[in-house]
Amino acid sequence: MKYVSEYRERESALKYAGLIGKMVTKDWSIMEVCGGQTHSIVKYGIDQLLPDSVTLIHGPGCPVCVTPIELIDQAAEIAGFENVIFCSFGDMLRVPGSCSDLLRVKASGGDVRMVYSPIDAIQIAAGNPDKEIVFFAVGFETTAPVTAAAVLQAEQLGLDNFSMLVSHVLVPPAIKTVLSGEDCAIQGFLAAGHVCSVMGYTEYEPIAEKYGVPIVVTGFEPLDILEGVHMCLKQLEQGRTEVENQYLRAVSREGNRPAIELMRSVFEITDRKWRGIGRIPDSGFMLREQFSKFDAGKKFKVSSHEVDEPAICISGEVLRGNKKPFECVAFGEECTPEHPLGAPMVSSEGACAAYYRYRLARKK
């Protein structure tokens, strides 16, 4: 399979691991930003190939995982309304809110539908003019252009029965928040290749300069990640703090300019709360005032409230990279993919789910 099998070749992976082992002279800690990278690291045992002096730390790189409980509760409330068809990506259906989740709303009679794109929700709205169709817009900058396109299409078609609950979050502010923590031990970053395929990586250059950390834009296959780790460690060993691009086959420095302009035409930047982390300034998108009629939160006037995670759940510590999933006393016991306490156990890109599937489950 072109551009997949070539990046999973065992001998090349072992060669990279050997080069890394010969190169490092001290202890280093690198955070991978994306949950897709975390999934590959755990699935293929990439962290176990590296020398003990190199620690990979899992960051808050899963947009499903960082969607706050309050927004899940709002989604469940709207989905329970009699005249609503609520559309969501599949991995959001089981994310626990404070009392329920979208799958339970569906089981109770709510019309909750899994879609693969906001354009699917547009088609549902066009075909059901007597219903209110709501799309749960979750994701990093990667999926935001399609969401923006759906808003423009809804306006063009005059779909007054379409709206969305927006929870798009932005990666660079989260990296800055992590680096600003008093107990931050991270010395380098692997940036998410899919985000940078849209946004480019100019936003990361002032971060690398200000905080003195190398940042390497990295893909998601085993050899991508090993090469990204090698590039990052080479900078650390040489005392450099630059932004480099490992993911050359998909990412350019300037990114996808038409997609960026499309997002900017529909969204404006706002503060956003991240589940397990807290409110991060300028870290999310919201609809511009001219598109406010498509804002489901305003349209349905849903309640808003602050909610804490279950006391036993340490998903916040996992999302900040302070702890690994197996350090949670509930991991694999009270908290499993079938009965998750925190969002990182639900999403396919969540760190807890990855450890459960590829480390814990294999031992049972």
User: How many CA within 13 A on the CB side of residue 66?
Assistant: 29
Phi, psi of 171 (to 5 degrees): -75, -45
Dump strand ranges (E) for 79-145: 84-88, 111-114, 132-139
pLDDT in tens, the chain (364 residues): 466 778 888 899 999 899 999 999 999 999 998 989 999 999 999 999 999 999 999 988 888 888 988 999 999 999 999 999 999 999 899 888 888 899 999 999 999 999 999 999 999 999 999 999 999 999 999 999 999 999 999 999 999 999 999 999 999 999 999 899 877 889 999 999 999 999 999 999 999 999 999 999 999 999 999 999 999 999 999 999 999 999 999 999 999 999 999 999 999 999 999 987 889 999 999 999 999 999 999 999 887 777 777 788 888 888 878 889 999 999 999 999 888 888 788 877 889 999 998 987 544 4
Q: Which residues pair with 57 in a beta bridge?
A: 31
Q: How far apart are CA 52 and CA 231, in angstroms?
A: 18
Contact 143, 170 (CB under 8 A): no
Q: Which residues pair with 302 in a beta bridge?
A: none
What three-state secondary structure class fits 236? helix
- Distance of alpha carbon 350 from its chain centroid, rounded? 9
Q: Tell me, what's the pLDDT at 60?
A: 85
Dump strand ranges (E) for 156-236: 162-168, 188-192, 215-218
Q: Tell me, what's the pLDDT at 363?
A: 45
Burial track 290-314 (b if 16+ CB lie within 10 A, e otherwise): ebeebbbbebbebeeeeeebeeebb
Q: Tell me, what's the pLDDT at 40?
A: 93
